[in-house]
Amino acid sequence: MGNSTRSWNDLFTDPRFHWTEPDPGVAETVPRWRDEGRRAIYDLGCGAGRHMAYLQVAGFEVYGSDVAENGLGVCAGYMREAELPGRLVRAAMTACPFGDDSFDAGIATNVLNHNPRALLQDAMDEIHRVLKPGGEFYLTVLNTWDWRYGSGEEVEPDSFILAEGPETGILHHFFSEDDVRAWVSDFDLLELRRDRGELTLSTKLDDRPVVRDAWSVWLRK
């Protein structure tokens, strides 16, 4: 699946990957997007759908895509249970199945860093393409201070296939600040924030305090 040696489909058979709490940056941004009258939102790499539900309840028309069929299956079930429309499509992030200038805004939380370097720019170019002029995008990616940096096999500079924890076998790219800035240079960079704190997601390892270190990035086309 993609370029990871372990399939995301396998991970979604583990309920620990069915996250439900929204990312804090999504929760922070939603009221402003709503006040600005943004309507069509893209959840790129929607996984089990925590934001598909959250954003729809907040009043947006939300479209999700993901490469993992099992993730989309969990997400669709969750949407049915919540009696929300499931506008879901299976696609790689380097080939978003939407037309140019489709969305008022979008998100990709903990998704884009699962790419080899050669595809990172393709994924960013796709985000640029599907956003309307003035469209905004919020994303999170891990940074080079994260606790997992250096774990497993380094397949490219700052990219590792993890050798322990629930995401064993999955490729993770860790971004320096310069790396992020160069990557998003086709956009206006509204904010680049370092978020460091105890990992509270259900994929946290047992019995270990784990400090996640990531970039939260707000962009405008």
Ligand X SMILES: C[S@@+](CC[C@H](N)C(=O)[O-])C[C@H]1O[C@@H](n2cnc3c(N)ncnc32)[C@H](O)[C@@H]1O
How near is the Cβ of 46 to ligand X at its closest, in Å? 6
User: Is 50 a residue that touches ligand X (CB under 6 A)?
Assistant: yes
How near is the Cβ of 56 to ligand X at its closest, in Å? 15
Contact 193, 206 (CB under 8 A): no
Cβ-closest position to ligand X: 47
The residue from 41, 92, 124, 130 that contacts ligand X (CB under 6 A) is 92
CB nearer to ligand X: give 56 or 109: 109
User: Is 19 a residue that touches ligand X (CB under 6 A)?
Assistant: yes
User: Cα(135)–Cα(130) distance, rounded to whole angstroms?
Assistant: 9
Looking at residue 50, the DSSP 8-state letter turns out to be: H
Which residues in 51-90 contact ligand X (CB under 6 A)?
Answer: 66-68, 71
Long-range contacts of 116-123 (CB under 8 A, 24+ apart): 116/3, 116/155, 116/156, 116/159, 116/171, 116/173, 117/156, 117/157, 117/159, 117/173, 119/3, 119/93, 119/94, 120/173, 120/183, 121/183, 122/94, 123/93, 123/94
Question: Sheet of 188-198: strands edge to edge?
Answer: 88-90, 61-66, 40-44, 103-109, 131-142, 211-220, 188-198
How near is the Cβ of 31 to ligand X at its closest, in Å? 19
User: Is 109 a residue that touches ligand X (CB under 6 A)?
Assistant: yes
User: Is 18 a residue that touches ligand X (CB under 6 A)?
Assistant: no
The residue from 41, 74, 111, 161 that contacts ligand X (CB under 6 A) is 111
The 27-46 contact track toward ligand X, x by CB under 6 A, reads ------------------xx
Tell the residue number behind the tokens 């299976």, with chain if given. Answer: 90
CB nearer to ligand X: give 125 or 188: 125
- Please give the residue ranges that form the binding site for ligand X (CB under 6 A): 2, 8, 19, 45-47, 50, 66-68, 71, 92-93, 109-111, 114
